[in-house]
Chains A and B, each alone.
Chain A
């Protein structure tokens, strides 16, 4: 059964892609949940549409490039506006996300052509190419290096920003660098995961791990284990049952969340 599965090149590529993306989601998701940035990453996912629209308007053939540039600018802008503190951050993120999504939809649906871009809503991991896997490997290395260097500082900021500042940690630089990192991860994986589900994959494994973890190390490792397990199991089930991969991964991740929630509550 499994021999046949790996005789198809598209399944080998999809499995490699899942093994590269899912630990990153598990890892970065922990800090997103810790820093209460779930809404921020969701807004970034939705802004992918605007990134594509910007690429179409500027005549950029590879819209992934315009998506990444727009995503980074959008993330930094959200951080900048939030720091100004003119309004509560969830309201600001909501306003900017709605505005960006509407702008993207308006441009892409001009002349009734939105159907051409609708595939990005649900994603398609099966059509990933070898060149795109190399992109994911580079992303994997970049995020891993950043994580190893910055995890202590990020944790300190997430616990108490003022205290972190007093210990010579540049809060602003670290927050911006982390926002750029989320933008890179979201924009480079959105084509395979889909706008509608990307936030679930970022949040669910970390939230499940948080239900039962007692320290940050455990929190990170369990989140990565849950994320990889959901990714691989979801891909296998979708292969044999002919259902879409993204939703299957999210269903499995949700089951893990509910189980850990019940276990964590009873402890």
Chain B
């Protein structure tokens, strides 16, 4: 009896092992990506940084740009690295990040790969560009004095969604070109000229459709911190902000304050992200005269080439149509 039981356990574990090994083997065969180990492997942390980097690198010889796997929902703050990411990082020659606390996993990467050079684009632009620093009330400031920095996804109240401002994004592009040139001097001139070309293409092709005049000084509200930079680019005045994501639990008081701010300040338009702002957007449309427009943050999905320009133009067209 006992013998047959132990035989059953042995057979069970062997069967599971065989199924797992077979399944994994076929999965690896089907998804095997041959990567070129020679040359410079540049990893990027998120879509906006990836788009800037591929435009800076262009067809520079021996340089491969790869993006870490992107979250399909939510924001980058609470994303955890996958095994594939960890494998790629161990082969990478440099990691380019947005910075400013956007990549919550950065401390783990620094700890695991202390010799991996990191180009922090936020650090490079925060002095010379109009980075938004949110006002915090005293109570929140007190909270921030407790706990470690990793517990806060935005450093010291700064809004790290800087790529949404084309002006700051141009600075990020420049910082990436400078950072890569310092690591790979043989392609330094290629990076510099590609960065200049990309910035001038952005200048000529991003069309805000005259919104910088029609919304200049106008009161707007945002349902995602990223759009504070959209408002800034258009010269609009933000009177209310509610940052919504998948884990955000909004209190009734917060909603009524937000709605009151919209009504009292005669807000014309509210910028929101569809996934997390839709339910709140419906409520705002019902309770106020403001129009809610749903814009893209460039964080989710597959982007390539000049998609940065396409998405920004699409966002501006959506705002324009709502007015």
Chain A residues within 8 Å of B, Cβ to Cβ: 1, 8-11, 55-59, 61, 63, 105, 109-119, 122, 124, 126-127, 129, 212, 214, 222, 225, 229, 233, 236-242, 244, 252, 255-256, 259-260, 263
Contacts and interface: CB of A to CB of B under 8 A. Distances in A.
A240 to B, nearest CB: 5
Interface in B1-31: 2, 5, 8-9, 12-13, 16-17, 20, 23-24, 27-28
B82 interface: yes
B81 to A, nearest CB: 7
Interface stretch (B57-65, B104-112, B118-126, B285-293): B104-112
Contacts of A58: 146
- Name which of B17, B24, B27, B243 has the most chain A CB atoms within 10 A of its CB: B24
B75 interface: yes
Given A56-B147, A119-B78, A212-B9, A240 B24 contact: yes
Q: Most A CB atoms within 10 A — which of B8, B84, B108, B147?
A: B147
A15 to B, nearest CB: 12
B281 to A, nearest CB: 17
A126 B83 contact: yes
B151 A259 contact: no
A115 B248 contact: yes
30 contacts: A8-B86, A8-B87, A9-B112, A10-B112, A11-B83, A11-B86, A55-B147, A56-B147, A109-B248, A114-B247, A114-B248, A114-B249, A115-B78, A116-B150, A116-B153, A117-B151, A118-B78, A127-B81, A212-B8, A229-B16, A233-B16, A236-B24, A240-B28, A242-B83, A242-B84, A252-B20, A256-B13, A256-B16, A260-B12, A263-B8
A241 B90 contact: no
A interface secondary structure, majority: helix
B243 A116 contact: no
B147 A126 contact: no
B83 A238 contact: yes
Contact of A119 (B2, B80, B84, B140): B80
Nearest to A233: B20
B140 A111 contact: yes
B71 to A, nearest CB: 11
